Structures are given as structure tokens and as C-alpha cells.
């Protein structure tokens, strides 16, 4: 793997461009990229882009775009509770005619990995990885690891250095609420295809 800490490339169809927030007088916008998988499913991924980058590459609705940047995390207050929210922070944007979904991360295991079996007998390990960035900040990235790699990753310990390659995926799930009703929510995570310990 290259010497990269956090690098994402996603190409897909644009939707839902809207103002997100302003920092130090600069506006940031969010939109979604729909990235088709090889299967019949798609990943619908959130992207954050600065007004300066958007001014150089204006986005209309429903067009194809290739975004390169980093996967960032921050805490967001939802229904009175703090939730980890992931977004792809755009550093470059260009036109494309193909679907792309590729991520490379280097970081540290920050919670004990959880190994489990799906109802269909597939092996899975869930792992939270802290990825350092500038100004003493870190991004916390949920990762899901499958099969033989899941067994290998299940033995990792908090503090272990890991390098990962895979794709960013979106997944809908039902959350049971206190009043007994259910809410459909979307989780974002990295589906890992290759990993290396102690890079």
C-alpha cells in the first residue's frame, strides 16, 4: 500500500446539494453521491465541499462526478444523543462517466474488535479505527471485515497499527425508539477488502 493515511476516491451520481455550515466566513455544502456496486445495490454517500472548490466546479442535479478527498468523522446531536457522523471531505472534484469507490486508511485500533457470525454463516469483525490528521485531530472510522480477514482482525488489540483498503458503504437499519416505534436510519462504514497490521 502507498504511504497514505486517509485517501478516498468516489465516483457517482450527484443529488441533494445544500448549504451545510460556515466556518471563518467560508461556506461548506453537502450533497450525496450514488455509487453503484457490482451487485444490484448502490451506496449513497455524503460529501462535504467548500464553496471555493464548488465555484471552480459547479454541480447541477443528477450529473456524474468524481470526488477525491478524505473520510472525516464528527459528532452530531440527533434526537438528544451524540452520534458519530461520517462524510467524505472533497479536496478535488471532476467529471466522470464511471462509478468508483475506493479508500485507503492507516490508523490505530481504538476499541476491541468484535467478531460475529451472520445468520447466513458469514464471519464478520467490526473494528473502529482512529486515523490521525492535521492539528492533532483524529477521525474515527467504523470498519467491517469479512471472512478470513475477519478471523485475522479479531485478534487485533487496542493500539495496534493497521492499514486498510476497501470501499465506503451505506447501510440502512431499523432503530427501536423509546416509544416503541422504529426509525429507519443509515450507517456509513468502510467495507475492508485488504488489511495489514503493523505497517
Express each pLDDT in 36-70 by its tens digit.
Answer: 988 889 999 999 999 999 999 988 778 999 999 99
Place of cell 472548490: 53
pLDDT of residue 79: 73
pLDDT of residue 1: 41
pLDDT of residue 170: 95
pLDDT of residue 2: 43
Residues in the chain where the model's pLDDT stays below 50: 1-2
Nine-digit cell string for 159? 493500539
pLDDT of residue 82: 83
pLDDT of residue 96: 93
Q: What domains appear along the chain, each with residue ranges and CATH number?
A: 6-104 (2.40.50.140), 107-197 (2.40.50.140)
Amino acid at each position: 500500500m502507498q504511504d497514505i493515511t486517509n485517501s478516498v476516491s468516489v465516483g457517482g451520481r450527484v443529488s441533494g446539494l445544500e448549504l451545510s455550515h460556515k466556518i471563518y466566513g467560508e461556506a461548506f455544502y453537502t450533497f450525496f453521491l450514488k455509487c453503484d456496486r457490482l451487485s444490484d445495490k448502490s451506496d449513497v454517500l455524503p460529501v462535504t465541499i467548500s464553496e471555493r472548490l464548488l465555484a471552480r466546479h459547479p454541480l447541477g442535479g443528477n450529473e456524474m462526478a468524481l470526488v477525491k478527498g478524505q473520510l472525516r468523522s464528527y459528532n452530531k446531536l440527533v434526537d438528544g444523543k451524540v452520534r458519530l457522523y461520517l462524510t467524505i471531505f472533497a479536496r478535488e472534484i471532476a467529471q466522470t462517466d464511471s462509478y468508483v469507490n475506493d479508500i485507503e486508511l492507516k490508523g490505530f485500533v481504538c476499541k476491541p474488535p468484535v467478531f460475529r457470525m451472520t445468520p447466513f454463516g458469514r464471519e464478520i469483525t467490526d473494528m473502529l479505527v482512529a486515523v490521525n490528521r492535521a492539528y492533532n485531530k483524529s477521525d474515527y472510522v467504523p470498519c467491517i471485515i469479512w471472512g478470513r480477514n475477519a478471523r485475522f482482525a479479531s485478534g487485533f488489540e487496542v493500539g495496534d497499527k493497521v492499514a486498510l483498503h476497501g470501499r465506503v458503504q451505506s447501510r440502512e437499519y431499523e432503530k427501536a425508539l423509546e416509544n416503541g416505534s422504529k426509525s429507519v436510519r443509515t450507517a456509513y462504514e468502510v467495507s475492508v477488502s485488504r488489511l495489514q497490521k503493523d505497517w
